């Protein structure tokens, strides 16, 4: 099945005329695909474009490469997300010196992105519901750009704080909308890999901030922070809206157009169209639910899994460990902590890239089990090494061995986190939440993630000053609990459509 033809034609007519009804540009949606019936084929401009593009254009017609290109465009949002997270680490000394800030004021500056992200998370679901996924990313990009400009021209703390809040708001929206958009456009056989691109892009953004921060002044670095969203905004005009959102909004013609270009122009989308239509029709029969109905399995289980995974992801302590990596490395006995932090960022990018390749092969659940098992073991090793170090002479051979063991354990922890718990909770959240509560439930899950991240970041320094070994022991216990949670509750979603996943909870 392709797009629907004129109302006067039957189904066969729609099928036979699809080749003449379709315009075939790169990634536009809706009426961009349609031409008048009298046109009798592609317009001259489109025909000329196809001739110039040659085999590349036909690969867009015949494969799912459109979904890949759409994912790469929206991945600019998570790169912005990561750049925001990584910005404060290499700029701390310079900003404090130039603007005369105290350490507590700079700490407030760093934490304000989390505060802004909480606000963005609260609004993200409703924004994505009423103006679409593309419109939400457009809204998220604008305050990000304004925020970076405010920071780059800051003469005192007020502009600095305002810019950080604006960035955080945009990041909060991006952190919900991007994984949802990718899940809704991706073919079921590629959804895991494309969904993992979200977390991979975050780690790339962090790494870029670390790398560039070693070579350019902080004001120039903040100007460079504008680039991802500056490219994202025009890029959004060249990708289709989520077909599932279009179907939910009753835009059935645009829905089929969007799905056709995402699956390839020569692909029969009839079965997928009918499945999405049945799912949307079912959700429309119950557009609102009473609070008492949340306890029903079809809502309570996916809510518990989605929110639980995103909260446990942060309770593992990963943000506290990464945020204070330099001081942890110093405590472990490493002198060049900034270079070590950059190296840790490289390791995280590589490990997340491996996850992107494995997600649709090994499956989400297996990777989560491997990831949480590895995190538990490595944190136990790090905790034990710090406990031993605290009770031996600093210059002894055993002290050096324990220092190297703690460093190796931290790197192994980041690798284990990146192999599963970093990316997959966002993928599963976007896959399992029922369509009629996705906007509200997704906002709550994203808010819970950011709130927990803020709490971990704010308490990590106090906990590390109390006891390095004790802090990592607590994080290890949480990771062990996460492993139990995954084994008991998290289903495998590999190779299943979003509609099949939703039906399995009924």
Whole-angstrom distance, CA of residue 98 vs CA of residue 326:
22
Average pLDDT, the chain: 83
State the Cα angle at 248 between 245 and 251, rounded to 5°. 85
Question: What pLDDT was estimated at residue 60?
Answer: 45
Whole-angstrom distance, CA of residue 336 vs CA of residue 339:
6
Half-sphere exposure of 387 (CA within 13 A, CB side): 11
| Those residues with Cβ within 8 angstroms of residue 497's Cβ, 6 or more apart along the chain or in another chain | 188, 272, 275
Region 39-53 average pLDDT: 40
Question: What pLDDT was estimated at residue 291?
Answer: 55
At residue 36 the predicted structure's pLDDT band, cuts being 50, 70 and 90, is very low
Region 366-390 average pLDDT: 94
Query: Does residue 15 contact residue 2 with C-beta atoms inside 8 Å?
Result: yes
Whole-angstrom distance, CA of residue 202 vs CA of residue 175:
10
Question: What pLDDT was estimated at residue 186?
Answer: 92
Whole-angstrom distance, CA of residue 97 vs CA of residue 83:
22
Residue 52 has pLDDT above 60, yes or no: no
**Helix ranges restricted to H, 363-437:** 364-389, 397-418, 424-432
Question: What pLDDT was estimated at residue 335?
Answer: 65
> What is the number of H-type helices and E-type strands within the chain?
24, 0
- CA distances 346 to 396, 415, 477, Å, are 31, 10, 27
Query: Does residue 173 contact residue 51 with C-beta atoms inside 8 Å?
Result: no
Region 134-154 average pLDDT: 95
Which class for 437: exposed (0-12), middle (13-18), buried (19 or more C-beta within 10 A)? Answer: buried
Q: What is the tens place of the pLDDT at every residue in 472-505?
A: 999 999 999 999 999 999 999 998 888 888 888 8
For the chain, the maximum distance between any two Cα atoms, rounded to a whole number of angstroms, is 88
Region 384-406 average pLDDT: 85
Q: End-to-end CA distance of the chain, in Å? A: 29
At residue 128 the predicted structure's pLDDT band, cuts being 50, 70 and 90, is very high
Question: What pLDDT was estimated at residue 243?
Answer: 93
Which class for 17: exposed (0-12), middle (13-18), buried (19 or more C-beta within 10 A)? Answer: middle
Query: Does residue 146 contact residue 165 with C-beta atoms inside 8 Å?
Result: no
Residue 428 has pLDDT above 50, yes or no: yes
Residue 371 has pLDDT above 60, yes or no: yes
Question: What pLDDT was estimated at residue 38?
Answer: 33
Whole-angstrom distance, CA of residue 303 vs CA of residue 321:
28
Whole-angstrom distance, CA of residue 237 vs CA of residue 179:
19
Whole-angstrom distance, CA of residue 14 vs CA of residue 21:
9
Buried b (16+ CB within 10 A) or exposed e, 204-219: bbbbbbbebbeeeebb
Residue 32 has pLDDT above 50, yes or no: no
Phi–psi pair at 4, nearest 5 degrees: -75, 140
Whole-angstrom distance, CA of residue 183 vs CA of residue 431:
6
Q: Which of 58-67, 108-117, 212-221 has the lowest mean pLDDT?
A: 58-67
390 vs 207, which has greater pLDDT? 207
At residue 57 the predicted structure's pLDDT band, cuts being 50, 70 and 90, is very low
203 vs 457, which has greater pLDDT? 203
Q: Which of 61-75, 233-247, 265-279, 398-412 has the lowest mean pLDDT?
A: 61-75
- How much is the pTM? 0.81
Q: Which of 28-37, 136-145, 440-449 has the lowest mean pLDDT?
A: 28-37
Q: How many residues would you count in the chain? A: 506
Element (H, E) at 65: helix 65-74
Question: What pLDDT was estimated at residue 55?
Answer: 45
Share of the chain above pLDDT 90, in %: 51
Share of the chain above pLDDT 70, in %: 82
Question: What pLDDT was estimated at residue 390?
Answer: 80
DSSP state of 186: S
For residue 372 the two structure tokens come to 């949480």
Domains of the chain: 11-62+240-285 (no CATH), 63-239 (1.20.1250.20), 292-506 (1.20.1250.20)
Region 237-244 average pLDDT: 92
Q: What is the tens place of the pLDDT at every residue in 150-200?
A: 999 999 899 999 999 999 999 999 999 999 999 999 998 899 999 999 999
Query: Does residue 373 contact residue 463 with C-beta atoms inside 8 Å?
Result: no
Residue 222 has pLDDT above 80, yes or no: yes
**Calculated CA dihedral for residues 164, 170, 174, 175, nearest 10 degrees:** 40
Whole-angstrom distance, CA of residue 324 vs CA of residue 46:
54
Residue 8 has pLDDT above 70, yes or no: no
Question: What pLDDT was estimated at residue 336?
Answer: 66
Q: What is the tens place of the pLDDT at every residue in 84-94?
A: 988 988 888 89
Q: What is the tens place of the pLDDT at every residue in 282-326?
A: 766 555 555 556 677 778 899 999 999 999 999 999 988 877 676
Region 215-224 average pLDDT: 94
Long-range own/partner contacts, residues 464-470 (CB < 8 A, 24 or more apart): 464/320, 464/324, 464/327, 464/328, 464/331, 467/386, 468/328, 468/331, 468/386, 468/390, 469/383, 469/384, 469/385, 469/386, 469/387, 469/390, 470/383
Whole-angstrom distance, CA of residue 292 vs CA of residue 250:
28
Whole-angstrom distance, CA of residue 435 vs CA of residue 254:
19
Residue 40 has pLDDT above 80, yes or no: no
At residue 438 the predicted structure's pLDDT band, cuts being 50, 70 and 90, is confident
Strand partners of residue 34:
22
């Amino acid at each position: 099945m392709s797009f629907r033809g004129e109302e006067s034609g039957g189904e066969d007519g729609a099928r036979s005329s699809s080749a003449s009804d379709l315009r075939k540009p790169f990634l536009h949606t809706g009426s961009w695909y349609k031409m008048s019936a009298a046109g009798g084929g592609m317009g001259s401009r489109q025909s000329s474009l196809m001739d110039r593009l040659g085999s590349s254009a036909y690969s867009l017609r015949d494969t799912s490469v459109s979904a890949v290109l759409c994912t790469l465009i929206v991945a600019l949002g998570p790169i912005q997300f990561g750049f925001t997270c990584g910005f404060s680490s290499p700029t701390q000394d310079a900003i404090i010196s130039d603007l005369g800030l105290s350490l507590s004021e700079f700490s407030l500056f760093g934490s304000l992105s989390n505060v802004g992200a909480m606000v963005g998370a609260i609004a993200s679901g409703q924004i994505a519901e009423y103006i679409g996924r593309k419109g939400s990313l457009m809204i998220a990009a604008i305050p990000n750009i304004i925020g970076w400009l405010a920071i780059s021209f800051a003469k005192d703390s007020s502009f600095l704080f305002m810019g950080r809040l604006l960035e955080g708001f945009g990041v909060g929206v991006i952190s919900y909308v991007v994984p949802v958009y990718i899940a809704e456009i991706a073919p079921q056989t590629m959804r895991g890999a494309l969904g993992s691109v979200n977390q991979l892009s975050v780690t790339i953004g962090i790494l870029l901030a670390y790398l560039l921060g070693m070579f350019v002044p902080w004001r120039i670095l903040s100007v460079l922070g504008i680039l991802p969203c500056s490219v994202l905004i025009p890029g959004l005009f060249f990708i289709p809206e989520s077909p599932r959102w279009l179907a939910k909004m009753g835009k059935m013609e645009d829905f089929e157009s969007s799905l056709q270009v995402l699956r390839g122009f020569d692909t029969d989308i009839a079965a997928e169209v009918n499945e999405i239509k049945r799912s949307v029709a079912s959700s429309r029969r119950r557009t609102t639910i009473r609070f008492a109905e949340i306890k029903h399995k079809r809502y309570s289980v996916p809510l518990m899994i989605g929110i639980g995974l995103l909260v446990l992801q942060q309770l593992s302590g990963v943000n506290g460990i990464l945020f204070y990596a330099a001081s942890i490395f110093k405590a472990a006995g490493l002198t060049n902590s900034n270079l070590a932090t950059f190296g840790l960022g490289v390791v995280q990018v590589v490990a997340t890239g491996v996850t992107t390749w494995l997600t649709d092969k090994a499956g989400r659940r297996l990777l989560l089990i491997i990831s949480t098992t590895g995190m538990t073991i490595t944190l136990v090793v790090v905790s034990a090494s710090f406990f031993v170090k605290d009770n031996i002479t600093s210059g002894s051979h055993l002290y050096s061995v324990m220092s190297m063991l703690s460093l190796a354990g931290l790197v192994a922890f980041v690798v284990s986190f990146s192999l599963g718990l970093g990316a997959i909770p966002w993928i599963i959240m976007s896959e399992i939440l029922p369509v009629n509560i996705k906007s509200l439930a997704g906002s709550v899950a994203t808010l819970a993630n950011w709130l927990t991240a803020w709490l971990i970041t704010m308490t990590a320094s106090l906990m590390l000053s109390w006891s390095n070994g004790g802090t990592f022991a607590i994080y290890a216990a949480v990771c062990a609990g996460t492993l139990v949670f995954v084994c008991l509750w998290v289903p495998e979603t590999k190779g299943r459509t979003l509609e099949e996943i939703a039906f399995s909870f009924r």
